[in-house]
Chain A
Amino acid sequence: DAGVTQSPTHLIKTRGQQVTLRCSPKSGHDTVSWYQQALGQGPQFIFQYYEEEERQRGNFPDRFSGHQFPNYSSELNVNALLLGDSALYLCASSQGTVLFFGSGTQLSVL
Chain B
Amino acid sequence: KQEVTQIPAALSVPEGENLVLNCSFTDSAIYNLQWFRQDPGKGLTSLLLIQSSQREQTSGRLNASLDKSSGRSTLYIAASQPGDSATYLCAVKVNQAGTALIFGKGTTLSVSS
Asked if B43 and A103 sit within 8 Å, CB to CB, the answer is yes
How big is the B interface, by class?
20 to 34
Q: Taking the complex as formed, is B75 at the interface, i.e. its CB lies under 8 A from any CB of chain A?
A: no
CA distance A61 to B4 in the complex (A): 23
Q: Taking the complex as formed, is B61 at the interface, i.e. its CB lies under 8 A from any CB of chain A?
A: no
Q: Taking the complex as formed, is B58 at the interface, i.e. its CB lies under 8 A from any CB of chain A?
A: no
- Give the chain A neighbours of B105 by CB distance below 8 A: 40-42
Chain A: residues with CB nearer than 8 A to chain B? 4, 31, 33, 40-45, 48, 55-56, 58, 88, 90, 92, 94, 97-104, 106
CA distance A58 to B100 in the complex (A): 8
> Besides the contacts A45-B100, A98-B46, what 19 more A-B pairs have beta carbons closer than 8 Å?
A4-B43, A33-B100, A42-B103, A43-B89, A43-B91, A44-B103, A45-B101, A55-B98, A56-B99, A56-B100, A90-B43, A90-B44, A92-B44, A92-B99, A97-B49, A98-B49, A101-B44, A101-B45, A104-B42
Q: A42-B106, A88-B41 are in contact. Are A31 and B46 (CB under 8 A)?
A: no
B 83-113 to A, binary, CB cutoff 8 A, 1 in contact else 0 = 0000001010000011111111110000000
Asked if A97 and B32 sit within 8 Å, CB to CB, the answer is yes
- Give the chain B neighbours of A101 by CB distance below 8 A: 36, 43-45
CA distance A31 to B34 in the complex (A): 18
Among residues of B, the one whose C-beta sits closest to the C-beta of A94 is B99
Asked if B41 and A102 sit within 8 Å, CB to CB, the answer is no
